[in-house]
Chains A and B, each alone.
Chain A
């Protein structure tokens, strides 16, 4: 297809946005949407204007849900019909290439569940919790505005372009559309991000499980449970996923309960592990899990975590609605402007926007939107529901995580989320340290909070999972079960998060290995062969050791691993979003949609501004808390002067550790910044070329084929859509038209 899309075709597609999509609103819907807008606006007003008193989480829900509804109804519809011009007469890859396995038209409600389960993991539970140190308002605004104008747009537009290209991956599209250099930069970016992502997620788990026999036992039990499920599916009853998942979930709940018994028994000491020991276990687990057959561990674990994910997210939403807790955190804390917060350093702009990635704008989603989903979508008209809609739900999960973090005592929040160097190791020291931060909590309250959830200590449990679990335990015990259930719910939440993360560790290591094998294969051919065992082992070991290194560093960093590494993770994730948005913008321009290029162009500019500012500060800031190289120089200087201890480093060994870590982190920041600039430059060049020489444009879109498929566009079919289904003689899940006449 050397020829740019003809205007005739564009018009044809634009003229058929689907039944029920008539322009102009009926008086009834004007009233309804005005009410929705008012609810949202009142929510925002209460959140923004209340100072010094506790606000009910109901207002946050009103603000978020009201805005989502408006964003979905109006903005996503505008993107689908005016910008992308989704074409209901055009066959999707699922219809054209239907092979019953990889490509098959899947019911939109099923695909929605698939896509949501694939995009939402532990990410939206972590970022918002950390960002709560600046108060609930910055996080809420970014999560809601970010998803409506950037995150959901990215997911939807990538899904659209990938669907028009037979489900090609983001990396392939980048190579095709913005050239080999941009493509290679995108590939390196994905690999680097994967490593940092896995290290940070593993760190979240280590911090949640350290010194917690209950947690270690119940998470440990997920391994035999998954093995059992794997064997059951392979040998006993192949393919019976629902029944084995139900058995698995029952065993999982039993493991959580049993964890409580273990913690009180003489076995407790066996399951009380130090962070350093846990790191070794995680690395060993990561390696074994990624070389074991998929059916034995990964696939069953995936079923378990998907079940838990959908179940718990629903339960949490119900719990929040029943309990409607009060937000105890301030709207905006002083750390927003001073940038001296203990959880992560730096001021509101840019650091809130990189700390909260998943839930607002997550580059990783572009990999899913250009992976399995485009091969399964029935109609182009469903891209809006699947792409935009799923991301809104993930954003809602992020809002719930933020609520969980903001309903616990702020003093407790800071005692849990500050690094050891700040809060110390005793409740007395922590109480004083929290006081110095400007919040108050007594040593007794800290001890009681730990006792309530049957943990030895909650101090410096950074990484977000314990905080989220505390908030969730609060919500659940208020909504169902009462205070007696608090310890159970706390460990349920830890389990819930750990389960995703372990699945991601396994799957991520495999993907990293696959990419590495591909790269190494250019040097030594056999590496490309994925069934060549030595290659698999070597590549897996390299990937595991790479994230294991950062995990080890994170656990032993006197400045706090989350504090140091999380910004890098955020920058990396937003870098991937920049790649995805740059690809989308380039494609919009190349496909003759120049006047709509702002739809992804503006989020791209914002994302680049955020990412580059953050990188700049991480590299050049003169504040040693923020700038890696200043930090390095300061500790190196102290070492040269022969000081026995310096700031948070208690001895010379720790000072040396900080010097090494800051150097590595600083170099990575430089690498990420360079990658962003390369991708931007290359895509900019492709855009300029497309605008100046439209005759040279090569559109790699698959040619138009008329669709015979009939299926509703949104989750709930409209009256017209139902009539169309009946007229076509197909069931509610849609199908190829059986009757000849056209509706």
Chain B
């Protein structure tokens, strides 16, 4: 495999892990806010991650795990 192919594979893996863990959620949020309401203020990453876990606090049924 060429280096480019290896790099491509690794990039895909990184993308998958970031998506699966929810690490990419912030980027998605920023992109979403930018496209839909360009003038709206965007939360900092810190504030965004806080609001995400706090939402789970409010409704624990989100992200519930099965037996």
A residues with CB within 8 A of B: 98-102, 104, 106-107, 109-110, 113-114, 117-123, 169, 197, 201, 233-234, 238-242, 245, 293-295, 298-299, 302-303, 305-306, 358, 362, 364-365, 367-368, 371-372, 500, 503-504, 507-508, 510-511, 513-514, 530-531, 573
Checking B33, B46, B53, B65 against A100 with a beta-carbon cut-off of 8 angstroms, the contacting residue is B33
Among residues 28 to 48 in chain B, which have CB atoms less than 8 Å away from a CB atom of chain A?
A: 28-29, 31-33, 45-46, 48
Checking B18, B57, B59, B67 against A197 with a beta-carbon cut-off of 8 angstroms, the contacting residue is B67
List 8 interface pairs A-B (beta carbons < 8 Å), by A numbering: A109-B16, A110-B19, A123-B67, A234-B53, A294-B53, A303-B21, A504-B65, A507-B65
Docked CA distance A99–B28 (Å): 10
A514 touches B19 (CB 8 A): no
Checking A122, A242, A293, A306 against B18 with a beta-carbon cut-off of 8 angstroms, the contacting residue is A242
Docked CA distance A242–B19 (Å): 10
Docked CA distance A234–B67 (Å): 28
Docked CA distance A513–B33 (Å): 34
A293 touches B66 (CB 8 A): no
Q: With A99-B32, A110-B16, A299-B56 as known contacts, state yes or no: A367 contacts B21, CB within 8 Å.
A: no
Docked CA distance A281–B22 (Å): 32
Interface size (B, Cβ < 8 Å)?
A: 35
Chain A residues closer than 8 Å to B56, beta-carbon distance: 294, 298-299
B residues with CB within 8 A of A: 16-23, 25-26, 28-29, 31-33, 45-46, 48-50, 52-54, 56-67
A500 touches B65 (CB 8 A): yes
Considering the complex of A and B, which 7 residue pairs feature the smallest CB-CB distances, nearest first?
Answer: A100-B32, A510-B60, A123-B67, A241-B21, A295-B53, A238-B49, A110-B19
Chain A residues closer than 8 Å to B65, beta-carbon distance: 117-118, 121, 302, 305, 500, 503-504, 507
B20 touches A364 (CB 8 A): no
Chain B's nearest CB lies how many Å from the CB of A78? 26
A101 touches B25 (CB 8 A): yes
Chain A residues closer than 8 Å to B29, beta-carbon distance: 100-101
Chain B residues closer than 8 Å to A507, beta-carbon distance: 60, 63-65
Chain B residues closer than 8 Å to A513, beta-carbon distance: 60
Residue of B nearest to A200 (CB): B67
Chain A's nearest CB lies how many Å from the CB of B44? 9
Chain A residues closer than 8 Å to B16, beta-carbon distance: 109-110, 113
Checking A107, A113, A123 against B66 with a beta-carbon cut-off of 8 angstroms, the contacting residue is A123
Docked CA distance A101–B18 (Å): 15
Q: With A101-B52, A241-B23 as known contacts, state yes or no: A367 contacts B32, CB within 8 Å.
A: no
Checking B20, B33, B45, B67 against A238 with a beta-carbon cut-off of 8 angstroms, the contacting residue is B45
